[in-house]
Amino acid sequence: MAYSNQVIDHYENPRNVGKMSDDDASVGTGMVGAPACGDVMRLQIKVSDQGVIEDAKFKTYGCGSAIASSSLITEWVKGMTLDQAAELKNTQIAEELALPPVKIHCSVLAEDAIKAAIDDYKNKQAK
């Protein structure tokens, strides 16, 4: 199966790979797995007092499309409010990366991961 140029670009030059400290109250971590293939994605956001995402990092153990999806979404969410980031849809990622049908679940992983990171951040704030 052929990967699109956008997938190859993000796969070869992934943006925002890394890890932030979970102890930091301004950091939210989302960890999700894809039942379809067993791949795992960890996505983290750092949120300002104003509720704006200042930084995002990811680590993905998975296929090229999953890595590209997480790389792309970390770029998109920087500068967004939590509400804006929560509205991102996997279909936007799939469209941007021109993912074929069998790779749609890789983009779902990225949508789920960002939502999980936002939830984690909100839970931390509630404490």
Smallest separation, CB 7 to ligand FES (Å): 10
Smallest separation, CB 36 to ligand FES (Å): 6
Distance, in Å, from the CA atom of 116 to the CA atom of 87, rounded to the nearest integer, reads 13
- Cβ-based nearer residue to ligand FES, 66 or 82: 66
Q: CB-based contacts of 19: which residues, under 8 Å, 6+ apart?
A: 42, 44, 57, 59
Residue in 68, 39, 36, 48 with CA at minimum distance from that of residue 121: 48
Catalytic residue among 20, 37, 40, 104: 37
Alpha helix stretches (DSSP H) within the chain: 5-12, 64-77, 82-86, 90-97, 104-126
Q: Which residues are at the interface with ligand FES (CB under 6 A)?
A: 34, 36-37, 39, 62-63, 65-66, 103, 105-106, 109
Q: Is 63 annotated in the active site?
A: no
Distance, in Å, from the CA atom of 122 to the CA atom of 125, rounded to the nearest integer, reads 5
- Cβ-based nearer residue to ligand FES, 45 or 113: 113
Catalytic residue among 45, 106, 108, 116: 106
Smallest separation, CB 3 to ligand FES (Å): 11
Active site residues: 37, 106
